[in-house]
Amino acid sequence: MVRMNSNRIEVSIILPTYNEVENIESMIHEIEDVCTNFSHEVIVVDDNSPDGTYKKVEALREKYPSLVLIRRFHERGLSSAVVRGMEDAEGKFFIVLDADGQHDPSVIPKIYESLKSFEIVVASRQKNRKGYGKFSLFRKLLSKVGNFLTTKILKINVNDPMSGYFGIRRNEFEKISEEMNPRGFKILLEILFRSRTKNITEINYEFKTRKFGKTKLNFIVVLDFMISILEIYFYPKLSADFLRYGIIGVSGIFVNLTVQFIANNIFSFNAKTAYFSLSISVILGFIFSVTSNFMLNNIWTFQQKKFKFGKDWFMALSRFALVAILGLLIQISVWMLVLGELKLYLSGVNFQLLNLSSNLIGILASTTSNYFLSKRFAWRISL
């Protein structure tokens, strides 16, 4: 989308929102109150929040004509919302902040001033210890671990690379926008890594506690963040999605074996029915692991196309199960084929070792095909 007004303004302020109905109004008022000395627009990027955040924004457009609302219907995610806001923004400078009141808008004019001399400006919670506000121990720890990983692995030397409050010049964003792979909460981290500019400064501010509502940063987001660091580092050699799929696959093996173990203990008591009970256990193990794998991939690996529980969810699960059955066939065929070959050429080697290696090759082959097939057919994401 390109808006027709070609008179560039100074600053585009980008507010990603998801369920911020109680916070968004005061946030916009506060921003407008402090942005009096420069031309600006406020862009709210809302992912069709169920609480109707966008309605509040629409209502405020009368009072603030420069207020822009982008309502996304098919996408979710903080980082991608921010990128979307930047793509539509008209300002020379972009400033991003959370809409829940944790980021004090009075810092905006300072960020703006700094952007005149620096490409990227990070509003940092770190330098001043009190800057954390009232904050859970878990969150503090998380922040520390994240900071450690980013400085040591990505070699980014900013005090608060996970901050959601920062400014960047349009030019700098345009330089890296094509390489961006915005996912989860890692937006600033990715910008810092891709941009590689040294022309960065930090401004300290006090990180407040949330006014209303609750954080969307959960266990999944945290796990995702760790994977994202690897993804940014290895990109494009490693697909983080594939890694996620693989990790879930391993968890599925545990689910499968546990269910089989329990079922075996329940069913197989006498020799006559042993064969039957064993098959039941195998089938139950398969059903449970396929379902848990599906649920985990749905909320993690393919979260951008997440199915809500209902008819579509079941249809997707069925397609996923079909892919899994096919995968099983692939795994067994590859296993047998490779084992046959290995036995021929490495006749002196221990059979168990050959058997294990061919089985692993089979698992690798089926995981790879399962990944692509379920992405394409179960979640209908084009490859």
Task: Name residue 65's amino acid.
Answer: P
Is residue 68 a contact point for ligand GDD (CB under 6 A)?
A: no
Nearer to ligand GDD, 181 or 264 (CB): 181
Tell me how far, at minimum, the Cβ of 309 lies from ligand GDD, in Å.
19
Residues 328-367 as x/- pattern, contact with ligand GDD by CB under 6 A: ----------------------------------------
- The site map against Mn ion for 64-103 (x = CB under 5 A) is ----------------------------------x-x-x-
Binding residue for ligand GDD (CB under 6 A) from 31, 41, 43, 46? Answer: 46
Binder to ligand GDD among 68, 108, 162, 200 (CB under 6 A)?
Answer: 162
Task: Give strand pairing partners of 44.
Answer: 15, 69
Report phi then psi at 86, rounded to 5. Answer: -65, -35
**Taking the C-alpha atoms of 210, 213, 215 and 220 in order, what is their torsion angle to the nearest 10 degrees?**
170
The residue range among 41-49, 239-247, 288-296, 318-326 that interacts with ligand GDD, by the rule CB under 6 A, is: 41-49
Tell which residue, 15, 24, 19, has the closest CA to residue 50: 19
Say how many residues touch ligand GDD, by CB under 6 A: 22
Question: Token pair of 337, please?
Answer: 């084929």
In the complex, residue closest to ligand GDD by CB: 164
77-106: which residues touch ligand GDD (CB under 6 A)? 77-78, 81, 98-100, 102
d(CA 287, CA 294): 11
CB 44, min distance to ligand GDD, A: 9
Of residues 71 and 343, the one with the C-beta less far from ligand GDD: 71
Give every strand in the sheet of 11-17, ordered side by side: 68-71, 40-46, 11-17, 93-96, 166-169, 120-124, 200-204
CB of 103 to ligand GDD, least distance (A): 7
The CB-of-179 to ligand GDD minimum distance in angstroms stands at: 20
Residue pair 43/127 in contact by the 8 Å Cβ criterion? no
Q: Which does 46 bind (CB under 5 to 8 A by kind): Mn ion, ligand GDD, none?
A: ligand GDD
CB of 257 to ligand GDD, least distance (A): 35
Six-digit token string for 270: 């006498």
Rounded to whole angstroms, how far apart are CA atoms 360 and 286?
18
Residue with tokens 């987001």: 221
Find the binding residues for ligand GDD in span 17-36 (CB under 6 A). 17-18, 20
Please give the C-alpha separations between residue 57 and each of 11, 25, 50, 94, 99, in angstroms, as whole numbers: 19, 7, 14, 20, 12
DSSP H helical ranges for the chain: 24-34, 53-60, 78-88, 108-115, 137-149, 170-176, 187-195, 219-234, 240-267, 274-299, 311-345, 351-373
Min dist. Cβ of residue 132 to Mn ion (A): 13
Find where tokens 């397609």 sit: 319
Q: What does DSSP say about strands 11-17 and 166-169: parallel, antiparallel, or unpaired?
A: unpaired
Which among Mn ion, ligand GDD, none contacts residue 217 (Cβ within 5 to 8 A by kind)? ligand GDD
Q: Which has the closest alpha carbon to 303: 250, 230, 227?
A: 227
Among 13, 14, 43, 47, binds ligand GDD (CB under 6 A): 47
In whole angstroms, the minimum distance from the beta carbon of 163 to ligand GDD comes to: 6
User: For residue 7, which amino acid is it?
Assistant: N
Q: Binding to ligand GDD by residue 209, rule CB under 6 A?
A: no
Return the range that interacts with ligand GDD (CB under 6 A); candidates 42-50, 56-64, 111-119, 293-301.
42-50
Contacting positions for ligand GDD (CB under 6 A):
16-18, 20, 45-47, 76-78, 81, 98-100, 102, 143, 162, 164, 185, 215-217
Contacting positions for Mn ion (CB under 5 A):
98, 100, 102
